[in-house]
Structure 1
């Protein structure tokens, strides 16, 4: 089998105007970036108001393992599969961050015969959205320090500046730094740090804003610092919101591309799900719902993170009502959850599969708890045996759901027809009765406990008095109705990345809480999770290069 990048390079792409025409987007409302990608104009999006919505399908997964699950691959494959059976379906996924591309995780375009193209562009600079977000975020950071340098009229307490800087790269050396060294001309020395761009509140705001007016209001609402009396200083107080909106004007427009089978895909926004809310933009999803019968979207990492945030943050704030959810699992991942080492995954081990299935079972139960019907997609690997596949199917049946074997990685849409038909059956059956996990009016700490106990099956949440006091202060300031955005390891239901399966009886320690007043949620940082990742011992960057023909090699 060829590599993902080799397959993508051989794709027979159609001009992006042709893809847009299939959706009824006039050429004058497409802003092309080359021949195979374009942004959709705000004017066209506004003209869709009043059209009925299609059906929204969420693709989520079990907790990720080194064995690989293929959530994005399944999302793209399902979109192709729905089109294959005659449905007008659109894929909505996130843009890729450079950090994981050059680190360990790889890109975000799918894989095998179920990919979005152009793969190289999408996994690198694409249309420049992440650069615009990085620039807007760091403009605000520069304006904070500049304001203090020129007299600090707003009375900012330099010890209580909440706004850090960002870059779209994994660089652990920048997590905690000191700025302003070198004397009077360089300002006031203070401790700060960098987060990765996908953790930026500006990223979250862009992904939750409905239009440019809403974008600027949300940017203005960002709390950047506090005064000595602990009163907040907002982005709008520094008069930075206008310039930030200008930098984000083009980035706010969704990107239209295509799958290998020339079906439409919106790729827009890219917050991580382990440290941010993990969903593509609201504007892309809502636009797709006006243009298609079915919209297939994904939420990052496992359902304990991405799906929970999709339901409790994105759907709550955007008024979305998903019709069905697909949970992606693999036989290999079940074996890893059952205690099998990665090197031994190619050997049949039905007992290990059965032992690992409770991880999948908990995700099924959790997702059903939101009132959304579930189907499981078994992403097929060549080493899977019939007995192992049947073990997963039998287990899922015991959980009151159905598991469908999918071969889209090797066969494209032809290998996922059965799942596509099942999704249509569920979605058109009208069984969905979506509701978030907790009400807006629930106190913030109780919301955290609700997620920890009902989704993670923890016994308790541990938080210092200072954190509890901070949450109460935000409630008093009018932020008590905000949902919670948990930042924790993606590898486990617990905060211990090595605790696989479906653990119970564990505790969730809170290290820090952050107010994202513009995005409209509270970030709760748990355990050892980092908002600026580091590179692995052997990063993917070591094998990414140009070949003799000037083509990119090594991306995956």
Structure 2
């Protein structure tokens, strides 16, 4: 490690100084035959799952989630990677499975999603930028479908599709608020049929969800065929199957459908595949990635987006249902800084010691612990340490955990890598050896209203749910077409347990308002929009891109 770069102590400098191994070496460690690796340069590869050896048993799944996120940052991906490295240090057969970063957050406010410090996946620059082109392929498939839709309108509209009721939007992998609502087809008859349209960010496209929940190429094609694109003048649904282009879309996705193999700084195999947001989609890496990791290792460490009220809930109710497995252990990541924000401290004052604020903010952690316990899994808390944390603040959390019978470990994986997560790994390992009593919080056969109420009351801690007039009308059609037995995918702010971002801590007595319900038949769930959540985010006043550049040597600058 070069001293100058270590002194800079940035994720990018640490990643650049790390020793990265040839991907064939990592594949060998994971038990992947060399002919099953499709190389994308020296350090990335696609896995041809058809060529993998059959597994005698499937690995156990460790799900990493967190408290409600704050601008202070919780370091969930960092802990996920560090925990996998810690398991590796303990001599366990382990693979970490993560989502692919979206360029919108990378260039916006969040930055990259490859972990941090000495708990990162490599090559960090490639993964945070274009990687193996999966998200670009999804963008292409999404927009090809949009073109097919508008072409059939232009060619006489044989499907009798009502241009006012087309629900399929175009997509772009960037935060671009100007594209939320657009008008297309202007310029006369040769330019198509004028109509209102809009863009979603690619990771909110149903095709992203379809790719992440499909378990085979045939399943992928069937899910693509099932996607609703709009309604006829008679208000009957029109599917991709009716357009006859599911095969073409699958062709565009055939390489993107294969999981990607990379590595952590410590050489632990990492599979990164799929990237749906958890506040507007289901927030988990692909089933192909998780199943491949389970096939190759004894322990799979994976994460779900944002807090347990979003990513973890959807992991349980959507991914676990579709995949036929459930997490054998759950880790909830918390930080002193974030708990202080939930306790009422402004983000500019987080560096100041404030045990009282930590105590007040503990209610947020307590609710997430309660939520995971309701699923029949006993969580382990990872207290992700920052240099500004005081002994008194840490003791406040440790004492609470002891009083509640919650296993907790102080982690320092950013600075120490796997070594800083050994205590956490030992606690999680103990949980993996205990039986779970996993149970869903609702059944698919429950009514949509019952499913919504179960999530609001049991997961969010709210009082009730209210459907807008528009959502009620949509629900009538959903029941008419027999779509009401699909699970729910809530689109909700990540910052609060409620649908109001500024209600931090553990609000009570609130009502969640569902303003719109969008059937996603290909993905196999109903997206319920709450609050002012949008499927195309915007950039902040000072986007992270302002600090990014490329040097004369071709190396990235300012990427984090």
TM-score interval, smaller chain: over 0.9
User: Is the counterpart of residue 9 in structure 1 residue 16 in structure 2?
Assistant: yes
Q: Where does residue 228 of structure 2 map in the other structure?
A: 223
Matches within 5 A, 1:216-365: 216-365=221-370
- Taking the aligned partners of 2:176 and 2:470, their CA distance within structure 1 comes to 29
Q: Give secondary structure in 1 for the equivalent of 2:481.
A: helix
Q: Distance in 1 between matches of 2:51 and 2:497?
A: 42
Q: Is residue 2:60 matched to residue 1:61?
A: no
Q: Of 479, 486, 489, which aligns to 1:482? A: 486
Q: How many residues align?
A: 553
Residue correspondence of structure 1 range 123-138 to structure 2 within 5 A = 123-138=128-143
Q: Does 1:502 align with 2:509?
A: no
> How far did residue 397 of structure 1 move?
2.4
Q: Counterparts of 1:132 and 1:265 in 2: how far apart (Å)?
A: 21
Distance in 1 (CA, whole Å) between partners of 2:470 and 2:262 is 47
Q: Distance in 2 between matches of 1:475 and 1:428?
A: 43
**CA deviation map 1:165-216 (0-9, x unaligned):** 1100000000011111111111111111000000000000000000111000
SS of the residue corresponding to residue 416 of structure 1 reads: helix
Corresponding residue for residue 454 of structure 2:
450
1:71 partnered with 2:76: yes
TM-score by length of 1: 0.98
Alpha carbon RMSD of aligned pairs, Å? 1.0
- Alpha-carbon distance, 1:469 to partner: 3.1
Q: Does 1:26 align with 2:33?
A: yes
- CA offset at residue 465 of structure 1? 3.3
Q: Structure 2 CA distance, aligned partners of 1:134 and 1:466?
A: 29
- Whole-angstrom distance in 2 between the partners of 1:474 and 1:397: 47
The SS at the match of 1:479 is: coil
Q: Is the 8 A contact 1:133 1:203 kept in 2?
A: yes
Q: Give yes or no for contact 2:61–2:326 (8 Å, CA) kept in 1.
A: yes
Q: Does 1:493 align with 2:497?
A: yes
- 2:415 maps to 410
Q: Secondary structure at the match of 2:238?
A: strand
What is the alpha-carbon distance in structure 1 between the residues aligned to residue 404 and residue 525 of structure 2? 33
The CA distance in 2 between the partners of 1:332 and 1:380, in whole Å, is 9
The separation in 2 between residues aligned to 1:163 and 1:214, in whole angstroms, is 21
Q: Deviations over 1:210-266 (max 9, x none)?
A: 011100000000111111221111101111101100000000000000000011000
Find out whether 1:173 has 2:212 as its counterpart.
no
What is the aligned partner in structure 1 of residue 167 from structure 2? 162
Tell me the equivalent position of 2:371.
366
Taking the aligned partners of 1:555 and 1:81, their CA distance within structure 2 comes to 26
Say whether residues 1:189 and 2:178 are aligned partners: no
Per the alignment, residue 90 of structure 1 pairs with 95
Conserved? CA contact 2:497–2:507, under 8 Å: yes
Q: Is the 8 A contact 1:445 1:468 kept in 2?
A: no
SS at match of 2:376: coil
User: Deviations along 1:302-339, whole A, 9 cap, x unmatched?
Assistant: 11000000001000111112111000000111111111
Does residue 396 of structure 2 align to residue 391 of structure 1? yes
Give distance in 1, aligned partners of 2:96 and 2:543.
Answer: 30
User: Aligned to 1:90, what secondary structure does the other structure show?
Assistant: strand
Map of 2:3 onto structure 1:
none
Alpha-carbon distance between aligned partners in 2 of 1:456 and 1:56, rounded to the nearest angstrom:
24
Instruction: Report the Cα offset of residue 343 of structure 1.
Output: 2.0
- Distance in 1 between the 2:451 and 2:558 partners? 43
Equivalent of residue 112 in structure 1, options 110, 114, 117: 117
Deviations 1:105-155 (A, max 9, x none): 111100001000000000000000000000001100000000010001111
How far 1:400 moved relative to its partner? 2.5
In 2, Cα distance between equivalents of 1:446 and 1:436 = 13
Separation of aligned partners in 2, 1:471 and 1:547: 54
Aligned to 2:467: 463
Question: Which residue, 444, 467, 478 being the options, matches 1:440?
Answer: 444
How does the TM-score come out when normalised to structure 2?
0.97
Deviation for aligned residue 1:508: 1.0
**Distance (Å, rounded) in 2 between the aligned partners of 1:429 and 1:494:** 33
Q: For residues 42-76 of structure 1, what are the alpha-carbon distances to aligned partners after superposition, in whole Å with 9 as ceiling and x for unaligned?
A: 3125x53x631111000000011111100000000
The answer for the alignment partner of 2:4 in structure 1 is none
Given the alignment of the two structures, is residue 427 of structure 1 paired with residue 432 of structure 2, yes or no?
A: yes
Q: How far is 1:547 from its partner?
A: 2.1
> Does the CA contact (< 8 Å) of 2:468 and 2:516 recur in 1?
no
1:364–1:399 Cα contact (<8 Å) kept: no
Q: In structure 2, how many angstroms separate the alpha carbons of the residues matched to 1:334 and 1:119? A: 29
* Aligned counterparts of 1:511 and 1:105: Cα–Cα separation in 2: 27
State how far apart, in whole Å, the 2-side matches of 1:241 and 1:107 are.
Answer: 32
CA–CA distance in structure 2, aligned partners of residues 314 and 399 of structure 1: 29
User: Per the alignment, in what secondary structure is the counterpart of residue 519 of structure 2?
Assistant: strand
- Distance (Å, rounded) in 1 between the aligned partners of 2:118 and 2:210: 33
SS of 2:186 mapped into structure 1: coil
Q: 1:41 aligns with which of 31, 48, 55?
A: 48
Query: 1:103 and 2:108 equivalent?
Result: yes
Distance in 1 (CA, whole Å) between partners of 2:400 and 2:516 is: 38
Distance in 2 (CA, whole Å) between partners of 1:396 and 1:475 is 44
Whether contact under 8 Å (1:361, 1:396) holds in the other structure is: no
Return closer, same or farther for 1:94/1:429 CA change in 2, 3 Å cut-off: same
